[in-house]
Amino acid sequence: MRVLVAMSGGVDSSVAAALLVEEGHDVVGATLKLWGGPSDSGCCSVADVDDARRVAQQLGIDHHVFNLTDEFEAQVVGPYVAAHAAGRTPNPCIECNRHIKFDRLLARSRRLGFDALATGHHARVERADGGGHRLRRGADPLKDQSYVLSMLDREQLAGIVLPVGHLTKSQVREHAARLGLRTAGKPDSQDVCFVHGDVGREGFLSRRMALHPGTVVDRSTGDAVGRVDAVELVTVGQRRGMGQGADGGRRYVVAVDVPARRVLVGSSEEATVEGVALTSITWVAGPLAPGTPAVAQVSAHGRPVPCRFEAGGTVRFTERQRPVAPGQTVALYDHDVVVGAGIVKR
């Protein structure tokens, strides 16, 4: 099988390529050049490209660099800025997977005659009962990345290979060390790749949009209880910087109104919701029927919570939960199998 491996310069994609070579496949590595601005960092840095190229040399496979900077700007960076300007909290890693890795790159791999596209994600693609493919959580619960792949459908899953999904992270590093790969001890990338740590999210956004101070308003009384430097940087559910209520308890953000320059806060009890309304819902095999029980995960490392999917795209939690910020993705599971995902609209 001819496989194109997306090599980010990290240990997971390095071992993914190594495993495929060991299995006897015809493997070619490809690193995406997505971002070359002043915030060049994370999985988009020059050093990461060099690491990927050196690992490919160690494995004896060809390596290419694909320039997708225009697509990345249009599909990931631009929408990231626009979402903040509208008071939403975007997830750029999911949008990169949606539009770049498993759309543009997957399509390119097919045009180039490859049978599959491989990545180093910790998740598992398997044959589903009755045909087609399904996406399961990775074997390592601490590193599971099925959440950031939850928008994939069966057609996309049919063309994807995830070689490290059945391994724990320690097993991945052990395998890299045995092969002497230069990425064996490399730390995982933690931050948004186009936001440099020296300037942070505020510094990055301030160069692309206006940031406005806002008033913090108590939900119960309607009284102004504080100020924020930039209302566009506040996230629903946030408690940092929101102070304390009259009872001494922490206050949490329950709503952000950017046009009104207002942040609404409440107590820990007030800052819970029964459910969320989703938009842009994608399904692996087909939509859930209204009333179907499922498990929801609302962040990459969030705790899965029982829920029901209801008509109109609403997810109703069995117990009240902290609010999920508009713009974030909610992944839906049947046990450890992804069934679909959507973006919170309110």
Residue type, 271: A
Beta bridge partners of 330: 342
- Helix axes of 169-179 and 11-22: crossing angle, nearest 10 degrees: 70
Q: How far is CA 128 from CA 117, 122, 132, 145, 333, in A?
A: 19, 19, 5, 19, 14
96 is catalytic: yes
Catalytic one among 43, 44, 93, 96? 96
Catalytic one among 43, 44, 93, 193? 193
44 is catalytic: no
By DSSP bridging, strand 252-257 and strand 337-344 are unpaired
So which residues are the catalytic ones?
Answer: 96, 193
